[in-house]
Amino acid sequence: MEICSWLCMLGASVYIFTVLRTPKDGCGYWHAALGALVGAFLYFLGYPGLCGGVALGCSLTLLHGSERRRELLPVQNRVVLITGCDSGFGHALAKQLSDMGVKVFAGVLDVHGAGAQQLRARGCANLEVLQLDVTDGSQIAAAHQCIRAQVRDAGLWGLVNNAGILHTVADAELHPLLLYRRIMEVNFLGAVNMCQVFLPLLKRSRGRIINVSSVAGEVPMPLLAAYGASKAALSSFSKALRLELSAWGVRVAVIQPGGFKTNIYGNSDDILTGISSETREDYGEEYILSLVSNMLKMSQQLSEDLSPVVDDMCHALLAVRPRPLYTPGPMAWLLPFLQCYCPTAVFDSIIMRILKNDNCEPAGLSRR
């Protein structure tokens, strides 16, 4: 009996380690999770040896499924359109895919900007830079016409909706409605428009749509209400789109990064001109101006290594079995985990400690 108990402990340990190292999605994971429940049931029935055997079997199932998900499709004749390639994730992805041999159309906000010039300077025959503001219907139509003329009946293999803005880190009350609209237009409506325009080409190739969301779209974060709301809308749209397009053979994946440094931040000074005198009095100009330094502090804590995000994007585009959700970065899975399993008061305390503006308090709080 003692040997059986040790076998059960060994099997459970291996299973837990495998679960922590394996993405939490796919049929293989859920089959293995069901097997783990069976193993626990056998243990409580007094069969620890069988429990250990089931746990080891679950681990093998997870490992086998993980290996199969690493299989990649050939890159020949694959054409991908990426938005937001001026910098950040889109810029890095355009470089990596073109180096792999994928034909890349890199959409940029400024075709004469530094990011666009860097891409053209590579002299890569399969990398073409396009002027593409995702809020401008005429630019989207021009990009569609250019790409359709080149891909013809083969269609477009991948659309990566990466373009996005955060603009400012501030309390929800301080964001002018104009900024809410602008962030929603770029982060959500721009991606929706891109999907609708390019889906006929994507359906021809039974291709892929990759929408870049954020952990802020799943987890409520102070000072990021406008950005988080736009990304939550994009994530919800993507999930519905994934279900609808399954009949067409088009895969939809969401990339939900957490904790990476890009050029997405804007200028918090702009909010001074968009708030009422009463709100300005409640918060005080000292607090509002402190948001700029707080934003700089937050950005300095982020990782400059974008490779985990770019690698997940490549996997979503080229894997034989892509995942519906990718969460690169420790915060991308840790914060949703804490939100799901911690009491609300505990989670609120944690997230406020991480993201609260420590530089200054609103002036009105001292008058209460």
Q: How far is residue 225 from each of residues 56, 162, 164, 178, measured CA to CA in Å? A: 44, 19, 15, 14
**Longest distance between any two alpha carbons in the chain, whole Å:** 76
Q: Is 227 a catalytic residue?
A: yes
CB-CB contact of 344 with 273 (8 Å) = no
Alpha carbon distance 90, 327 (integer Å): 17
Contacts of 29 (CB under 8 A, 6+ apart): 22, 23, 62, 65
Alpha carbon distance 163, 166 (integer Å): 11
Marked catalytic residue, from 43, 227, 265, 283: 227
* Residue 122 main-chain phi, psi, to 5 deg: -70, -20
Alpha carbon distance 299, 264 (integer Å): 10
Torsion of CA 189, 191, 192, 195, to 10 degrees: 160
Centre a 10 Å sphere on the Cβ of residue 153 and count the other Cβ atoms it contains: 7
Tokens 């219907």 map to which residue?
Answer: 137
- Tell which residue, 209, 90, 187, 212, has the closest CA to residue 134: 187
Alpha carbon distance 326, 34 (integer Å): 23
Centre a 10 Å sphere on the Cβ of residue 65 and count the other Cβ atoms it contains: 19
Residues in the chain: 368
**What is the residue-wise DSSP string for 128-153?**
EEEE--TT-HHHHHHHHHHHHHHHGG
> What are the structure tokens assigned to 316, written together?
């979503």
Alpha carbon distance 296, 120 (integer Å): 31
Catalytic residues: 227
